[in-house]
Amino acid sequence: MSPDQDADDPSAPPATPTVTPKAAYHHGDLRAQLIAAVRELVETHGPDGFSVAEAARRAGVSSAAPYKHFKDRPEILRGVVSEAMDRLRAAMEAGAAAHPRASLEAVAAVGLAYVEFARGEPGVFRLVFGLTEGHENAPDLLAKGEGCFGVVVQAVAACLGLLPGDPDVQRRAYMLWSFVHGHSFLTIDMKHKVASAEIDDWDYLMRISRAMLAPAAQA
Amino acid sequence: MSPDQDADDPSAPPATPTVTPKAAYHHGDLRAQLIAAVRELVETHGPDGFSVAEAARRAGVSSAAPYKHFKDRPEILRGVVSEAMDRLRAAMEAGAAAHPRASLEAVAAVGLAYVEFARGEPGVFRLVFGLTEGHENAPDLLAKGEGCFGVVVQAVAACLGLLPGDPDVQRRAYMLWSFVHGHSFLTIDMKHKVASAEIDDWDYLMRISRAMLAPAAQA
DNA sequence: TGACGAAAGTTAGCACCTCTCACATATGTT
DNA sequence: AACATATGTGAGAGGTGCTAACTTTCGTCA
């Protein structure tokens, strides 16, 4: 079995009593070091411009060592994506927490965290949402995606004074998300100068949030 | 002799010669055939799951032949992207042309063409907007991206009765585009069930277009 | 027409990459 | 101390990107 994905789970793990912090036998948590190396490579050389061999080289191990921790090349990428999604979600939650609950600012802050993540780590961001072969066999990644969406839903629901399960909330949250997602992508792609230069993100997001949460948006 | 023979491509892409149709010496427009093969591979095996060797194999030539037509592996991908952007733009223009000028429907139709392209060729769509190394040395791709954006701008300008150069038009067009772009990506990623199942695209796009073209969106 | 040069294909081959296998070494448990 | 297991290494098979050198086809022009 080899519990691969045990990060720092605050929730008490009942199944595995032994492995709590990390695996540090020979090398000292090679797994995390590999993920860090791959993240760096993806960021500098593009999503497909990395190699397992190069990551191993950077970690100071042989080119076969990574396969003791990951089954595949894709599995390493999935590891990077998983870790990145944790950080993305944390950033979104922090954004929301920096403003009063049930405020338009909280909603906009969630979106801003999203955009800033994309701008800060464009390669990883692209990897997260460009992964196709990983998602099929990776329900945990799907779950984390749902978790991120949940943050948006929470903020929207609070702002509207409705329950998160409300279809209207879901719909508005989805619209908001697709907006922010598209803006993020266009920004890092620099597909148009407007994206990177002439747009004040906060203004933009506040305007969008207001429009999407207005009663008229339901129609 | 006109080399307009469709070799083995009964599928979507209509006659769109990517570049000079001058290459028909031995094989018969190997360049176009390679691009078609790569497009197919990208669509089935994912953006990074293709190889020049496999494409050459499918085209029935040796693995070195592609390098007579393309300098690099990335250049082949750029060829596919270029051809795809031509088709995307054509689809967007056709969408707009199917409705009266200066109508909300024309704007929504441009977006619908975009979404349908993404749904129809998710792999290629992802490739188009996931290409990083190609864009630096490829001003033609950037120009084509601008061209696609121009279609949106045209529709929006006509609908608002303003000039395409108007910053307000540019801004609204960008907002619309980011919305459509994000929706397309989320749809093909199936990041959330709402995206693929519970959304009527036309309704969605009409609502978005109306919201983005309303005077209030300017604020 | 025939010679020539360029275009478009071939094989051979190097360097690199992914991934596996057999083997070596550290670690915790009994 | 002995064992089973987790974690490392090196060798190597097979695939891939790309280049070099050679061969074949085609258009052109004296």
Look at residues A155, A43, A169, A60 and name the one whose alpha carbon lies nearest to residue A100: A155
Distance in Å from C27's C1' to A50's CA comes to: 33
Sign of the Cα torsion B125, B127, B133, B138 reads: negative
B26 has pLDDT over 80: no
The one-letter code for the residue type at B128 is V
Per mean pLDDT, which range of A141-145, B13-17, B183-187 is the poorest? Answer: B13-17
Among B185, B190, B219, beta carbon nearest to A181: B185
Q: Which nucleotide is nearest to B68 (CA to C1')?
A: C8
The one-letter code for the residue type at A179 is F
Higher per-residue pLDDT: A97 or B186: A97
B211 has pLDDT over 90: no
What pLDDT was estimated at residue A193? 59
Give exposure, B113-135, as e/b (b: 16+ Cβ within 10 Å).
bbbebbeebbbbbbbbbbbbbbb
Mean pLDDT by 10 residues, chain A (219 residues): 37 33 59 96 89 96 96 94 96 97 96 96 90 70 91 96 93 92 86 59 91 71
Question: pLDDT band for position B140 (50/70/90)?
Answer: confident
- Residue A83 zone, left/alpha/beta (φ > 0; ψ -120 to 50; rest): alpha
* Shortest Cα distance, chain B CAs vs residue A134, angstroms: 11
**Angle CA(A24)–CA(A30)–CA(A33) in degrees, nearest 5?**
125
- The span from the CA of B114 to the CA of B135, in Å, is 20
Check A217 against B211: CB less than 8 A apart: yes
Q: Tell me the pLDDT of chain B averaged across its residues.
A: 83
The one-letter code for the residue type at A205 is L
Residues from chain B that touch A130, judged by Cβ atoms under 8 A, are 47, 126, 130
A217 vs B: CB within 8 A: yes
Domain coordinates of chain A in residue numbers? 22-70, 81-217
What's the CATH fold of domain A81-217? Tetracycline Repressor; domain 2 (1.10.357)
Residues 74-113 in A contacting B (C-alpha not used; CB under 8 Å): none
Structural contact between residues B127 and B45, judged by C-beta atoms closer than 8 angstroms: no
Question: pLDDT band for position B92 (50/70/90)?
Answer: very high
B202 vs A: CB within 8 A: no
CATH class of B81-213: mainly alpha
The one-letter code for the residue type at A10 is P
Distance in Å from D3's C1' to A134's CA comes to: 38
Check B211 against A216: CB less than 8 A apart: yes
Check B192 against A219: CB less than 8 A apart: no
- The residue of B42, B129, B178 whose CB has the most chain A CBs within 10 angstroms, and thus the best one to mutate to test that interface, is B178
Among A149, A171, A194, beta carbon nearest to B174: A194
Question: pLDDT band for position B47 (50/70/90)?
Answer: confident
Mean pLDDT calculated for residue range B87-113: 97
The one-letter code for the residue type at A25 is Y
Structure tokens at B49: 């799951």
Residues near A198 by Cβ (< 8 Å), separated by ≥ 6? none
The one-letter code for the residue type at B154 is Q
* The length of chain B, given as a count of residues: 219
Check A179 against B179: CB less than 8 A apart: yes
Higher per-residue pLDDT: A125 or B16: A125
Helix (H) or strand (E) run with residue B41 in it: helix B30-45
**DSSP string for B88-123:** HHHHHHHHHHTS-TT-HHHHHHHHHHHHHHHHHSHH
What pLDDT was estimated at residue A198? 63
B172 vs A: CB within 8 A: no
B139 has pLDDT over 80: yes
Higher per-residue pLDDT: A44 or B134: A44
The protein residues having a beta carbon less than 7 Å from any atom of strand D are A 2, 23, 25-27, 30, 60-65, 68-69; B 25-26, 51-54, 63-64, 67, 71-74
What pLDDT was estimated at residue B197? 56
Check A132 against B126: CB less than 8 A apart: yes
What pLDDT was estimated at residue B120? 94
Kindly indicate whether the domain formed by A22-70 is annotated with CATH number 2.40.50. no
